[in-house]
Structure 1
């Protein structure tokens, strides 16, 4: 794999790390499903993923999306994977193609078309009938994908199957079928969690880590398999993910990592889907904490699932009780609370993940050459909420100290009067020089005797983020709420502060957030607070402070916003305003919701399967749902590149948006706003909103905040606000005169 078979000009695998262009690297991958995203948004989405620090994207190829009827195969329109791969090549991002045949992704039959289920009852084995069907499917995929495989192309990985635990011979057979069909890649991967037995030497095992999961049983508490991802450990297997598909009583054997391969992940929870019976919220800090812990554990490759949400391309192709699965999923909604939601709108984790990814981009080549070490007194029990959780990655001479005191549901306690003593070859490092309190909620990565651009950080009590280029490069340090940012440089380091004063840093120095110093005339250190860290975009040589999503197209800077962008550019000394123009007419308009019918009290359960509540059918919804007519302003005058969204703030159990009486979107309530992409909706469509009430007696597992809202009302059902939002592309004006000539112009403030 990668070295002797299917060698690649840029990508090579070792037992310690992945090499890119001949150098150790720590790739970062984000999952999106091209068939769940309108084709017109592919390029912008990929550019935004790159802008947020990803080096590659992964995508399922769902068989049921392409061949729902036997012999009627489509790779047209939004299903055109060849066009998607062409777009990835144009953007310059690598791709991992997950070809199944069984994928899951909350798709009916795991992605197997119904006719495959009927024709091959022994699917997912080396049953000859199934292998013939799989062979034909791989040939169809190869006809589209093979032109993008090869030693200098962007397809660098192919995943075989998904969450298959006890069929190593079948996985090896599928790999050979894929190769026979013409597919090739330097990396062949398979999911390794759940005690999976994989064929030796054939596939690279990848692991997972979710903060919470919809797949847990009705009424269950926060499972230990979720708690485990918030502590530092060298156990990579995860017995929780996919456990709902196993037969009851089957023991999951947690397996050691294969020393032939570096520890790597393909499914760090970048959010969470919503099932009918269980609706957890994956908050941004939950996701960032898991990602930080996995790096502290020694990860050599980070993959997030999902990074971009989406919408199912057809009705009734989701996982559901009706098809024998233990979980009912929405018919259309696959927002996943991702870094970019189903409409492309930024989610709560995006800023935190950009900060995390910028660190990996700047220092990943060093990290993968560093071993992970755990303290002797590391917590051994996931229920230990008081012991400080930390780890070190070091090559013996320098490294990083990782700290985690953030955890959802069961907060971890802080620790007073902390100093770390870490043995390195040049003598022990004491961090910091005086005891410091570490509060609850800290997600940290502190440098240890780190050399960069001729400057040595002995240590810092602020996290290393990214690096901005320039004549004098800038290292960004993220201060933590409740911890003073303090830096100890090597003796003799010369510092120049913002006032132009030169001092020799013989002792540790405090650097206030929002200020910077220059060390040895060769490196600027900029300290930012948590809020500003989440606004920063690291775009090559550019460092941009923007709440709105921003990316590069060629040499141009582009922002998507429904308002005048507020952005600033780091000059190497300060943040200065950036001027943007657009020829379109973005904005937000309040939408009227006209009540048509009041809701009725629903039953405690509409149905039950495997001990889990079943989502209501259309007929059951019509019996109890409240109905509103949506008088949305016409959207047929938007310019090319504009995006129209309906943002609905609502309360209830299940909501459906219907156009002309046909369900076009749906959502299970979890307390979050519902964003719907209406860009391609036919003008003047007759829209109605149908909401099923929820009561304190409804057997639904909700997030604590949502549950409190239900408990406060005997019948919760309503629309708080509906807004139609038109966002557009804004481009950076070449000059101030150009900005003044634009229809809209804004000066950002740093």
Structure 2
């Protein structure tokens, strides 16, 4: 930038806009289904009188081995999730009317108890229609085939629903009641034009002994919801498997990479509406009800793969959408999925497929979803990207919840605008946070040159930084404005707010943005402002009544903030977990170093933790059957979309490899993983001939937990891979598409298979 300030660009400007209406107090959680300590108004939820911004993450207990529930919940908690949400798939529990099970990993009551013990709230999405890429939307076949009008007030249908709800209510045994721990209940899913049916379902749930302070329903697609009866919940996906293979990046996906006060997304569920000839309600609200705050239950935690379309969102893709929603005024951040899983084993399959009338063929077993916690229980890079946002919400959510969102004076002209900076302000008129989001997939953004901001609050105008800065692509910033901590007021800073550590002298922790030199401006009692150029590091800047620790941008992936057992800042490249007690568990692969910041000593302690296991070893892959000739370009279509091959065709055409693993791979203490790097069309992993998980190839690494799939000493572990024809029209991510395009006839390769042990210890 020019050094002469006279030639600097005009600052980008935004003005704080106060709430347009006084806060409203709905019946829900206040006069109805009252639970001590919980209150809801039109702006936020509060706990014990303190505003909070909950973070909910979807984990389907019936798709996760029961022995892994505790660990998955600890992983969610370590990611900053405060609420676990789960569908109750009728199909999983009651394959026949006379055979209903709540045993093993179908024990919903035990799941609720364990979540509460871990320190998480619970939302149960009881359906009865769920979808979640399950067959019949979660209806058992005997319900799907019943001569009733499904998802309506047809008496025959309601009789079936009442029976199912009674079974759930009996199992929960008061856990979802005025005195129970369940925070919320979702009724149905993606129901667009029958508000009275939702009221009926609520009545049936009550008659079955179920209630909660918060009742919810999905609001996207212009859904017509019963006024005052349910909290409308929205979603946001940056890409999806539910559009056609040759479809461009849809506007409903692109919208989520911009700041906006429009919360509806007409794209979610559009494929199912089409398949079931359901029209979305026309003219429905695109912004939240004036009775309730803006809340989500389905921000993209990742994305599933259908056979015809296989998106693979990056960690930054996922984090940008969530970041924008916070800037937009979110009062509840909800992710789908946050934890992947595996569909229950079934001869008929539990998955959505063309065979059952859906427009998408989903993998029969694997439901990894590219989520922050994958099917194998490993953390994706999105876990780190999101947990920094969640640490911010935990530390500053009580302030942020009271701050409306204000959009800048000059906003992007549309989804094609890649030149206007995307930013927003949340403020109470005296302080706030500036949110910057400069990333989108598919059409990369260039660096934004010469950014400087003027924020007009109730009684002041703040312009910062001291000189214009260039905003690199990939920047997600949460810059504080007028933030008071301890007895110090930060007029502004160009490093993202992360957390506030307690102590005799509090420590404000900021995280530098890659490529932006951080500045910190301190306002004195007389109103003068002193600007500090800060060198990021692991030692704080002392400001008298406040320490400010500005972490280097390169530490971002190793930052953890524990809220339980007293708020603590930790640095670790390895995975950390904790529960309600705050006891930290380390799963070491990379390093033996976990460092904890001690505010009283103003320094990080010495590294601690288990010694990592030996280096990764490679598995052998002995080919015991080659692929049977050239595979076809397509295996048929349904509703214009490519179908996956039938099991018989897969069996005939797939190559088979017997995997050889080291002896220690069966040691439960090693909790061994397979990292499969491969290329092709469809992969299946089998133990003694039984399919334990599967995958559609999208270019990403396939990770499998050997303990979870039941691998043991002496077992026959085989990998079955189907080639992908070079002329296939399935939609693939960029690098995978390039690899297929470079193939003459068909693509089939095993690049390598790594066997990885992990050391686990409690600090």
Q: What is the deviation of 1:112? A: 0.3
- How far apart, in 2, do the equivalents of 1:531 and 1:673 lie? 24
**Which 10-residue stretch deviates more, 343-352 or 483-492?**
483-492
Alignment match, 2:713: 683
Q: TM-score, normalised by structure 1?
A: 0.93
Matching of residue 409 in structure 1 with residue 442 in structure 2:
yes
Q: What is the deviation of 1:376? A: 2.5
Q: What CA deviation, in whole Å up to 9, does each residue of 1:724-747 have, x standing for no partner?
A: 333342122xxxxxxxxxxxxxxx
Matching of residue 708 in structure 1 with residue 738 in structure 2:
yes
Matching of residue 699 in structure 1 with residue 729 in structure 2:
yes
Q: What CA deviation, in whole Å up to 9, does each residue of 1:405-439 have, x standing for no partner?
A: 11111123332222211111231010212222222
- Candidates 207, 214, 217, aligned match of 2:234: 207
Matching of residue 549 in structure 1 with residue 572 in structure 2:
no
- Candidates 286, 305, 310, aligned match of 1:274: 305
- How far apart, in 2, do the equivalents of 1:393 and 1:431 lie? 16
After superposition, residues 305-324 of structure 1 pair within 5 angstroms as: 305-315=336-346, 316-324=349-357
Higher relative contact order (CA 8 A, sep 6+): 2
Q: Is the 8 A contact 2:486 2:505 kept in 1?
A: no
Alignment match, 2:423: 390
Q: What CA deviation, in whole Å up to 9, does each residue of 1:650-689 have, x standing for no partner?
A: 1101011122333221100011111112213343221221
Q: What is the deviation of 1:621? A: 1.5
Q: Is the 8 A contact 1:562 1:588 kept in 2?
A: no
After superposition, residues 313-392 of structure 1 pair within 5 angstroms as: 313-315=344-346, 316-392=349-425
Q: Is the 8 A contact 2:77 2:578 kept in 1?
A: no
Alignment match, 1:26: 53
Q: Is the 8 A contact 1:239 1:254 kept in 2?
A: no
- Candidates 632, 646, 659, aligned match of 1:630: 659
- How far apart, in 1, do the equivalents of 2:546 and 2:203 lie? 51
Alignment match, 1:530: 553
**Which 10-residue stretch deviates more, 343-352 or 2-11?**
2-11
RMSD value, Cα = 2.0
Q: What is the deviation of 1:125? A: 0.6
Alignment match, 1:129: 156
- How far apart, in 1, do the equivalents of 2:242 and 2:357 lie? 14
- How far apart, in 2, do the equivalents of 1:609 and 1:398 lie? 55
Q: What is the deviation of 1:538? A: 0.6
- Candidates 294, 300, 307, aligned match of 2:331: 300
After superposition, residues 286-685 of structure 1 pair within 5 angstroms as: 286-315=317-346, 316-491=349-524, 506-540=529-563, 541-553=567-579, 554=581, 556-562=583-589, 565-572=592-599, 573-581=602-610, 588-599=616-627, 600-634=629-663, 638-639=667-668, 642-679=670-707, 680-685=710-715
- How far apart, in 1, do the equivalents of 2:658 and 2:616 lie? 19
**Which 10-residue stretch deviates more, 164-173 or 531-540?**
531-540
**Which 10-residue stretch deviates more, 75-84 or 684-693?**
684-693
SS of residue matched to 1:292: helix
Change (3 A) 1:287 1:254: farther
Q: What is the deviation of 1:268? A: 0.4
Q: What is the deviation of 1:564? A: 5.3
After superposition, residues 162-173 of structure 1 pair within 5 angstroms as: 162-173=189-200
Q: Is the 8 A contact 2:574 2:590 kept in 1?
A: no
- How far apart, in 2, do the equivalents of 1:152 and 1:412 lie? 51
Q: Is the 8 A contact 2:687 2:711 kept in 1?
A: no
SS of residue matched to 1:683: coil
- How far apart, in 2, do the equivalents of 1:661 and 1:637 lie? 18
Q: What CA deviation, in whole Å up to 9, does each residue of 1:156-180 have, x standing for no partner?
A: 0000000111111111100110011
After superposition, residues 155-194 of structure 1 pair within 5 angstroms as: 155-194=182-221
- How far apart, in 2, do the equivalents of 1:152 and 1:23 lie? 21
- How far apart, in 2, do the equivalents of 1:695 and 1:21 lie? 60
Gaps of 5+ in 2: 1-27
Q: Is the 8 A contact 2:148 2:156 kept in 1?
A: no
Q: Is the 8 A contact 1:388 1:414 kept in 2?
A: no
- How far apart, in 1, do the equivalents of 2:474 and 2:590 lie? 33
Q: Is the 8 A contact 1:386 1:414 kept in 2?
A: no
Q: What CA deviation, in whole Å up to 9, does each residue of 1:176-196 have, x standing for no partner?
A: 100110001000000000110
Alignment match, 1:721: 752
Change (3 A) 1:254 1:694: farther
Change (3 A) 1:489 1:675: same
Q: Is the 8 A contact 1:146 1:184 kept in 2?
A: no
Q: What is the deviation of 1:228? A: 0.3
**Which 10-residue stretch deviates more, 660-669 or 572-581?**
572-581
Q: What is the deviation of 1:547? A: 1.8
SS of residue matched to 1:577: coil
Q: Is the 8 A contact 2:588 2:610 kept in 1?
A: no
SS of residue matched to 2:98: coil
Alignment match, 2:68: 41
Q: Is the 8 A contact 1:462 1:477 kept in 2?
A: yes
**Which 10-residue stretch deviates more, 590-599 or 226-235?**
590-599
Q: Is the 8 A contact 1:645 1:724 kept in 2?
A: yes
- How far apart, in 2, do the equivalents of 1:45 and 1:312 lie? 16
Q: Is the 8 A contact 1:563 1:586 kept in 2?
A: no
